[in-house]
Amino acid sequence: MSYVADPSASDGEFNRDTDYITTRITADGRDGYAVEPGRYRLVVARACPWANRTIIVRRLLGLEDAISIGFCGPTHDERSWTFDLDPDGRDPVLGIHFLRDAYNKRIPDYPKGVTVPAIVDIPTGEVVTNDFAQITLDFSTEWTAYHRDGAPQLYPDPLRDEIDEVAQRIYTEVNNGVYRCGFAGSQQAYEKAYDRLFTALDWLSERLENQRYLVGDTITEADVRLFTTLARFDPVYHGHFKTNRSKLSEMPVLWAYARDLFQTPGFGDTTDFVQIKQHYYLVHTDINPTGVVPKGPDLSNWLSPHGREALGGRPFGDGTAPGPTREGERVPEAHSAG
């Protein structure tokens, strides 16, 4: 996750830096990094919506034994994400305090923002990729030999074109749309971004009114990509980013849809509301210079009945739900809903 406002944009519009390290880990190793259990470490921060996607997909597919995971703390400075949650502030596998060290191992004096998620090659200590959109697709398509029994098809071949189309609109208008509102440098840019965001949310409400999931009758990559933004909407985006036409809890279809996913193993149990609020309200000092983290909102309503079962659909298709979250990877109970 990085935030780059384009100073040359005369209208104050926010532009995201999308120049990622795009090396892929594949079954045939064509980029020099072959799929190999135990070789790679997924570095994430629970606060980050882009990283949260990878946590969800890794859990749904059962890749815990194949790809280890390291958690950064919820805050960072201009230099790097850090492993504040680990003893001595060092990742126990990589042995580093700053994620930037792994970036510099791959590209000396790495000139760009250090982002999560990132996958690190453990033997060399080098970042392989931080291309968050491709990482989850490759988990579904390149790591199939290490999926758990009963793993769902999150990117089924017959639906890929439609998933890609829906996911692209979600990315440009919703995932990135909230940032376009929050980091707008002018009233004009903000109002334009605001209108675009809620136009897309209205479109999603219409799409989901009579179908349980975004594409087909099972959970797919598209649902994962939308969920992480919806989960942050009321705790952060509504106030902090001024996306305040409506709270998520005031948009009936999307609110029920989000609760349906939240109550599905792999979604709510990977969502840390405390870290989410700490990240946005403490890191974005230009937006929130006091560093005050809001106490609300009440999150217990995430566990209320959603009624979406009436629309049919099978969350995991012919597969099964993942088992309990692994020890050491659980969100603290006080950080979740309930």
Helices (H), the chain: 49-61, 100-106, 132-141, 160-170, 177-182, 187-208, 221-231, 238-240, 252-262, 273-283
The tokens of 94 are what?
């990589």
48, 103, 213, 257: the catalytic one is 48
- Give the C-alpha separation, 184 to 196, whole Å: 13
179 catalytic, yes or no? yes
146 flagged as catalytic: no
Across the beta sheet with 40-44, the strand order is 68-71, 40-44, 118-121, 126-129
> Could you give the 3-state DSSP secondary structure of residue 182?
helix
The single residue of 146, 179, 237, 280 carrying the catalytic annotation is 179
81 labelled as ligand-binding? yes
CA distances from 234 to 48, 66, 214, 239, 249 (A): 15, 34, 21, 8, 8
Q: How far apart are CA 215 and CA 324, in angstroms?
A: 26
DSSP summary character for residue 210: S
Structure tokens at 124: 């060399």
- Binding-site annotation: residue ranges: 81
Binding site for glutathione: residue ranges? 81
Q: Which residues are catalytic?
A: 48, 179
